Amino acid sequence: MYETYKNLVYRISVIYLGNTFDAEDLVQNVFVSYYKRLPKFESQEHARNWFARVTVNMCINFRKSYWRRFVDKADEIDVPEDMNVERIEILDILSVLPDKSRLIMLLYYYEQYTVGDIAGMMNMSESAIKMQLKRSREKLKEVLGDE
């Protein structure tokens, strides 16, 4: 399971948390949670959704934790060395979006989750996800139009 889902968990974590150090810790925590519970999955899609949902929840909890509020979040997103230039540029462009919007864009466009799946993961309505996607696209058009 680790080899199959580590990249998904890592990408979500880096985008949401903003740095590789915390993302690596979170990847470990997600897989520790998996190995403690050993949930049974009906399909590969069910497993993929479980890992994404647990990762999002752990990211949210990580960001909410009291001691993390005092950590300087000014560091830019670190990207893995094996990512190509196009992906780095995309991450750089997405960095203008708020965390939640950036995560929704990642899940929708990069991980190809449906609006319904994302709504379930984020505990939001489908219409709220659609609105976040619309606003994010508008913000990105605005930013890209200035370049």
- CATH code where residue 47 lies: 1.10.1740
Q: Which of 61, 39, 35, 66 is nearest to 50 (CA)?
A: 39
Domain count, the chain: 2
The 10s digit of each residue's pLDDT in 82-108 is 555 555 566 667 778 888 888 898 889
Q: Domain range for residue 138? A: 82-147
Q: Which amino acid is at 126?
A: E
Looking at the structure, do residues 3 and 49 belong to the same domain, yes or no?
yes
Looking at the structure, do residues 89 and 38 belong to the same domain, yes or no?
no
Q: To 10 degrees, the CA torsion angle through 40, 43, 45, 50?
A: -10
**Residue at which a domain ends, from 73, 92, 107:** 73
- CATH code where residue 114 lies: 1.10.10.10
The 10s digit of each residue's pLDDT in 52-62 is 999 999 988 88
**Residue at which a domain ends, from 10, 44, 73:** 73
Q: pTM (2 decimals)? A: 0.64
Looking at the structure, do residues 61 and 104 belong to the same domain, yes or no?
no
Looking at the structure, do residues 22 and 39 belong to the same domain, yes or no?
yes
**Residue at which a domain ends, from 55, 73, 91:** 73
The 10s digit of each residue's pLDDT in 12-54 is 999 888 888 899 999 999 999 999 998 999 999 999 999 999 9
